[in-house]
Amino acid sequence: MPDVLSELPAYSPIAFARSPYARRIDAPHQPTVVEGTESGETAEASIEFVEGIPAAAFRDLAGFERIWLVFAFHRSEGWKAEVRPPRGGGKRSVLATRSPHRPNAIGLSAVELVAVEERILRVRGMDLLDGTPILDIKPYVPYADAFPSSRAGWIDAIDAAQGQHSAPGPKRPRRTPRGLG
């Protein structure tokens, strides 16, 4: 096998997320799961491009209803082979979950594109923390990106037991016992 690691490019953010979520416990687990968030509504946010990314690179996104954000989980603190997903069911293989704690802390999120402005994309349905580095943006193309009849492995069993789309909202922090904080 060739030494591909030495040939990999270094990645730099092209933009940063500006969202109402400062802490992980405030953000929804998925863009469409807002139950348990402070407002209980889909958040509006923005994607602010860094200097050096010309408007010509994103102007034709206007007219797309949704976009994919490829981003870095910049607050990830390492990873484990198995994690406990928020929907329960015991430990699962990290690569069979959407855990932010991954071998490469890279995430993918589909958000609604509200407007394309001079240096900013206005979006709705953000599940990213404020300041999250955006590595790439791609248009959501329904004929190529949607497979509604696809099986979802262990998630199908959770749906059968708890009801479809039963994902919980954000967890609240544990209360500190009196006298300890």
pLDDT tens-digit readout, 66-101: 999 999 998 888 899 999 887 667 898 999 888 888
**In the chain, where are the structural domains located?**
10-162
Question: What CATH number does the domain located at 10-162 have?
Answer: 2.40.30.70
**Residue 179's pLDDT band (cuts 50, 70, 90):** very low
Adjacent-strand bridge partners of 109: 69
Buried-state track 132-161, b at ≥16 Cβ within 10 A, e below 16:
bbbbebeebeeeeeeeeeeeeeebeebeee
Calpha distance 180→123 (Å, rounded):
41
pLDDT score, position 4 = 72
Q: Judge whether 116 and 60 are in contact, CB under 8 Å.
A: no
pLDDT score, position 127 = 86
Per-residue pLDDT at 50 exceeds 60: yes
pLDDT tens-digit readout, 113-143: 999 999 999 999 888 899 999 999 999 999 9
Calpha distance 11→74 (Å, rounded):
13
